[in-house]
């Protein structure tokens, strides 16, 4: 277990999955603690796919048993660099990963804590000699409500106008061909009650916004700012007291998709020796910050 410190802010991170397990700003605990009876995870890191693959992944005519969100959250990461407020942790391919994802990689997760911010960066490197398809993502669950706020009256506020129609989730977690409406006000404000979140994740694929704010009725808020994550999602299991603010580079297979992993919508492809970085900043605001 690693604890990063900046003033009164604390961030605890596990070697397993490089997963942040607790984030506190002053006296406010922001990350959901996990509950095996509801959702046991806290802030899993997703790699080398996001979401579901239809009956596993297909590469070069072979089938691989690559499950939900890949395997990074089950890997033990090695600390490469650590400071009082920063850690860089690395996992690499091995016999177990190559059995389900036949590529050589280095996957680094960086966490940094500031007075009211948590920054997390994913760095994907192709260490092999063939092109490598991948997707990665962040899946942190935040307390809802957090601090002294109330669950009622919360909302998501997008930085840009978004489509009020989002894809349905088909059986098996796939992206359906059909869509449904969510109650976006003026294209930018989504009131948070259980109805929009009752069925499954609310996915904003190729979102216009590079930032959103999870705001409570008392004015306290969590702001998420993204760099290199084109897709956003909101997920919970009502009435569980958490909300996931997710950032993805890819997403589940579309319904009926039977193509190769290189053809899967949302996948990025790295040339041999190439690397890519994707980052998000989660920033906590007290009511006084927003007046």
**Residues shown for the chain:** 291
Digit-coded pLDDT (tens) for 169-191: 998 899 999 999 999 999 999 99
Parse the chain into domains and list their residue ranges.
Answer: 2-290
pLDDT given at position 5: 98
Burial class (CB in 10 A: 0-12, 13-18, 19+), 150: exposed
Q: What is the share, in percent, of the chain residues with pLDDT greater than 90?
A: 85
What is the Cα–Cα distance from 227 to 239, expressed in whole angstroms?
Answer: 31
**Which pTM was predicted?**
0.95
- Give the architecture-level CATH label for domain 2-290: Distorted Sandwich (2.70)
pLDDT given at position 194: 66
């Amino acid at each position: 277990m690693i604890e990063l410190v900046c003033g009164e802010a604390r961030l605890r991170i596990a070697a397993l999955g490089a997963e942040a397990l607790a984030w506190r700003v002053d006296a406010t605990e922001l990350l959901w603690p996990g509950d095996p009876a509801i959702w046991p995870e806290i802030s899993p890191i997703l790699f080398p796919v996001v979401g579901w693959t239809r009956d596993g992944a297909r590469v070069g005519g072979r089938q691989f048993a690559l499950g939900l969100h890949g395997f990074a959250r089950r890997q033990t990461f090695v600390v490469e660099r650590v400071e009082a407020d920063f850690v860089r942790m690395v996992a690499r391919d091995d016999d177990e990963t190559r059995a389900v994802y036949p590529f050589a990689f280095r996957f680094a997760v960086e966490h940094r804590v500031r007075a009211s911010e948590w920054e997390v960066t994913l760095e994907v490197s192709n260490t092999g000699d063939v092109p490598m398809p991948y997707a990665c993502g962040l899946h942190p669950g935040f307390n809802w409500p957090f601090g002294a706020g109330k669950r009622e009256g919360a909302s998501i506020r997008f930085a840009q106008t978004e489509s009020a129609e989002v894809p349905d989730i088909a059986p098996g977690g796939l992206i359906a061909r059909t869509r449904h409406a969510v109650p976006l006000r003026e294209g930018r404000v989504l009131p948070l009650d259980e109805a929009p979140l009752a069925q499954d994740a609310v996915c904003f694929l190729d979102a216009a916004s590079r930032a959103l704010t999870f705001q409570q009725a008392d004015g306290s808020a969590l702001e998420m700012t993204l760099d290199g994550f084109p897709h956003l999602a909101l997920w919970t299991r009502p009435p569980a007291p958490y909300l996931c603010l997710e950032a993805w580079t890819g997403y589940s297979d579309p319904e009926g998709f039977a193509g190769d992993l290189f053809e899967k919508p949302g996948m990025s492809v790295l040339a041999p020796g190439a690397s890519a970085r994707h980052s998000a900043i989660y920033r906590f605001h007290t009511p006084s910050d927003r007046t």
